[in-house]
Amino acid sequence: MQQTWTLTKRELRAYFDGPAAYVVLCVFLAITGWFFSNALFLQNVASLRSVFSIAPFIFLFFVPALTMSSFAEERRAGTLELLLTLPVRDWQVILGKLLSLALLLLLAISLTLVYTISLAFLGDIDLGGTVGGYLGLFLLGLTYGAIGIWASSLTRNQIVAFILGFAIIFMLFLLDKITDFVPSQIGIILQYLGADYHFQNMMRGVIDTRDILYYLSLTGFAFLMTTYSLAKRPE
């Protein structure tokens, strides 16, 4: 476990040594901030709903951008060979990378607490919806991250990793939006599989174990697929 944490720290440092983390955090804050203040000042709506509605869209692009290098770049540079011949298990390496992304997401999400705090000054905030929204946003980002890392483990090309990760995530995002075009039986299944559907539930303040389970099992699945992909040790 010590080693996993060491790797997490290295990954986090790599994010912050370069411009990647700062650009992502700044743009994330700028976009959510614009939507928040737009609702607040122009429409007189004191709610986090606008922030929570736009955040999944931002994650759709930003998370695969953050994870695209995780394994693809290590494979291209050959450092994967060093990493995987250290006395650590493959899953510890994957966990270390996922954990560093999770911490970066936590930081991004916690920066939006500024909006929540300013709302708290204006009046009572919807506690359930806020907690649910934050938790949902984190789980959504974590799931996207696990998928992005899996995509990155499939190739040595970062751009391919990004497109692949984005495509899988976008598909999950769209699933519950196309229910109108399919028979209702299939529609219910598609809705359940859709990533955004569960987030909408949580944002409403309903913290249901099914929603949490959905994200965690999808994260677990992507994690497992990454271990398979690494076990093959492609050139």
Partner 1 sequence: MIEVQNLSKSYGNVEAVRSISFKVSQGEVVGFLGPNGAGKSTTMKIMTGYLPPNEGTVFVDGKDIREDALPVREQIGYLPESTPLYSDMVTYDYLEFVAAMRGIPSENRTERIRAMTNSCGLHDVLSKRIDALSKGFRQRVGLAQAMIHNPPILILDEPTSGLDPNQIVEIRELIKKIGQERTVVLSTHILSEVQASCDRVIIIDNGTLVADGTPEELRSGLSGGEQLSVTLQNTEEEVAEVLGSWDMAEVTEHGLDENGETYFILTSGNDIRADLFRLAVSHNWTLTGLHRKSKNLEDVFRQLTSG
- The verdict on 87 binding partner 1 (CB under 8 A) reads yes
- Minimal distance, residue 82 CB to partner 1, in Å: 6
- The verdict on 116 binding partner 1 (CB under 8 A) reads no
Q: Which residues 6+ apart lie within 8 Å of 164 measured at CB?
A: 151, 154, 155
Q: From 23-31, 56-64, 83-91, 174-182, give the range in contact with partner 1 by CB under 8 A.
A: 83-91
Q: Which of 60, 77, 229, 211 is nearest to 145 (CA)?
A: 60
Q: From 12-20, 39-47, 140-148, 153-161, give the range in contact with partner 1 by CB under 8 A.
A: 12-20
- The verdict on 191 binding partner 1 (CB under 8 A) reads no
- Among residues 37, 43, 79, 118, which is the contact residue for partner 1, using CB under 8 A? 79
96 or 132, CB closer to partner 1? 96
- Among residues 27, 38, 78, 117, which is the contact residue for partner 1, using CB under 8 A? 78
The Cα–Cα gap between 19 and 106 comes to: 18
- Among residues 14, 46, 163, 216, which is the contact residue for partner 1, using CB under 8 A? 14
Q: How far is CA 95 from the centre of its chain?
A: 14
DSSP characters over 1-43 = -HHHHHHHHHHHHHHHHSSHHHHHHHHHHHHHHHHHHIIIIIS
- The verdict on 177 binding partner 1 (CB under 8 A) reads no
> Residue 76 has what DSSP assignment?
H
- Among residues 25, 31, 40, 88, which is the contact residue for partner 1, using CB under 8 A? 88
The Cα–Cα gap between 208 and 188 comes to: 17
What does each C-alpha distance from 135 to 95, 161, 175, 214, 215 come to in angstroms?
20, 27, 21, 13, 11
Q: Which residues contact partner 1 by CB under 8 A? A: 2-3, 6-7, 10, 13-14, 17-18, 77-82, 84-89, 231, 233, 235
